[in-house]
Amino acid sequence: MESNLRQRVRDTLDQLRCELLEQRTADGHWVGELSASALSTATAVSALSATLIHAPGSIDGADAIEDQIVCGMQYLCQQQNADGGFGDTDRSHSNIATSYLVLAASSLAKQSGSAGLDSKQLAALQTYIEAEGQIEGLRRRYGKDKTFVVPILANMAIAGLVCWDDVPRLPFEAAVFPQSMYRVLQMPVVSYAIPALVAIGQARHFHGSKTWLPLRLIRAASVDRSMQVLRRMQPDSGGYLEATPLTSFVLMSLAATGRADCDVSRDAIRFLRESMNPDGSWPIDTNLATWITSLSISALAGDPDDDGSWFTPSLAHWHLGCQHRQRHPFTGAQPGGWGWTDLSGAVPDGDDTPGAVLAVKQMQRHSSATEIARMDVAIKDAQQWLIALQNRDGGWPTFCRGWGKLPFDRSSTDLTAHALRAFGEKGLSDAAKRKAERFLTRSQADDGSWLPLWFGNQDHPAEENPVYGTSRVLLAGAAGFLSEETIRRGGDYLCNTQNSDGGWGGGRSILPWMKRESLRDAGIRAGDGLTSSVEETAVAIEALTAIFSKNGRLSTNDQGKMPKDSTELAQTGPSAGKNDPKQVIIRGVEFLLQSVHDGRHRVPWPIGFYFAKLWYHEKLYPHVFTVAALSSYLRSELD
């Protein structure tokens, strides 16, 4: 039985490897494909509309821009959910943020001379927004973090739907200080949102009620200098962080203050015009090419029978070329890190850099002596960059050390675990390693799980994804970090939360979507009682097989079995207690094999969190994660 399973895994993995290799570019790397985003599309429509409204006759290509606004609104009109609201992707639940942004886009599109939502759609949207608590509901969604609330309110003010005095003032004048002082100045937004702080802060300064005279004079004197900051931070592509929403918020704010024809605005317009999808939508970001390539390399190289056919000198050259070799103008980051894409808007960060290091280590096995030496330098520089990024609490943040208070700036468990794996046994000092392990141990929840930063589950009550977080931290445990007790508790959590279909994660939104006629016509089968996602199941299997191979058992009892007592079962969940950890893994592997057979690995699910809690799905996530999981199973000692 076991040998038969291993052969089926081998056959399926061979199929997936071939499919993944076919997804490469001519240079041998991967680009992937980010989901179309109603949220991004709405912000782009608003920004382009604002340029036509506030700068009529002075914008080059105005007719083409108007055509794009029309196409964008046509896309949005097709994305309204049954409850009247709009979600971030075509597979997302409605949320108050995207719904407000679509409302503003519709209003601005009409003001620019294009069509917006029809009366029936507007009425349904208004009903949804009222049911969600309107502006107070928006503020509840984001709590103390103003990073996304203020831009949405500014977008609404530009559309004439709220008063400018409803938009909180932002201290845009603080941007003229050196970047090293931003943390000390207690910015009200996260580190990556400085362009929005400047542009929106200026718009509020010009359009809102007057503030205290001395402060008003300081802000007036800071306009030109903070505009220089905006220009300095803008990449060659014109798109801040390659992100449509951030770039759009900057552009619409400048347009609303009569500066739609300045250099920053012209380049932002160019970025938006060039990044539109053929269907009239915009993605949340241009692509995640570096991240996807790093994950693909590690997944393929993890196959015990890997023949290295994925490796080419051009792949190595491209990947090493993505390492940042100059101080970054956006965050002030020193050289040595990797960002998520090879495009100019990328910023080095604490997740893509470890991913790239692990991939480069795999490429060294197939490289020439000269290339190995070059890779050694790249790895050393990246590790030094990561050492400088580590927070005092022992964890790793995304972009900047020491900010720590707002989401996406604080230390996170998945990034910390990833960094530890990139260092390996000897790349980090004992003191720094102990700090990181203490951070992860303190961050472990009572049920044994860890919560990640950049991934979520839309059906989870708090939109968290403990399956992803726990799985990624456990990979660090399998690599020799963390105590046996900490690893055991994390493994128990995954075993105890396996769904009845054999997989993990997902929820009530998966089955209805998977049963859509368009998917059936494409030959993709949902399966009875499906609740789990391919992505979450794959990361759980990768982690469980890794720590099972390391520890030989996962559970608290001496036989390596799951709890059998009814009291224990009630405490740990509906699927706990059914089988030993080996059977838990086998059921999960069977789920993945069936998913590939049914074509579900070609249907990505929105588990990705982008900046400010924005959902996305990535075409290659289920594919790459499944290759990594099945490779890990074949490496394990489960016979």
405-444: pLDDT as tens digits: 666 678 999 999 999 999 998 899 999 999 999 999 999 9
Rounded mean pLDDT, 615-634: 97
Does the structure show a pLDDT above 80 at 275?
yes
Structure confidence at residue 566 as a pLDDT band (50, 70, 90): very low
pLDDT at position 559 is: 34
- Tell me how far apart the alpha carbons of residues 326 and 235 are, in angstroms, rounded to a whole number: 14
Distance from C-alpha of 149 to C-alpha of 153, rounded to nearest angstrom? 6
- In this predicted structure, what is the pLDDT of residue 212? 82
Tell me which of 20-29, 45-54, 595-604, 608-617 is least confident.
608-617
What CATH class is the domain 36-283?
mainly alpha
Q: How confident is the model at residue 190 (pLDDT cuts 50, 70, 90)?
A: low
pLDDT of residue 562: 35
**Mean pLDDT value of segment 467-488:** 97
Mean pLDDT, residues 25-48: 97
What are the b/e assignments for 227-249, b being 16+ CB within 10 Å?
bebbeebbbebbbbbbbbbbbbb
Average pLDDT rounded to a whole number, residues 52-81: 93
**Integer Cα distance of 537 and 592 in angstroms:** 7
Question: What is the C-alpha separation between 203 and 216, in angstroms, rounded?
Answer: 13
- The verdict on pTM exceeding 0.85 is yes
User: Among 32-41, 52-61, 67-76, where is mean pLDDT lowest?
Assistant: 52-61
Q: Which tokens go with 363?
A: 């490429």
Domain residues of the chain, as ranges? 36-283, 464-607
Q: Give the pLDDT confidence score for residue 560 in this predicted structure.
A: 37
Q: Residue 528 contacts by C-beta under 8 Å, 6 or more apart in sequence? A: none
- Assess whether pLDDT exceeds 90 at residue 309: yes
Predicted local distance difference test score (pLDDT) of residue 58: 76
- Tokens 């940042």 appear where? 324
Residue 573 has what pLDDT? 38
Residue 610 DSSP SS3? strand
Dist. CA 246–CA 196, nearest whole Å: 7
For the stretch 502-553, pLDDT in tens is 999 999 999 999 999 899 999 999 988 899 999 999 999 999 999 987 665 5
Average pLDDT in the chain: 91
Is 605 a residue whose pLDDT tops 70? yes
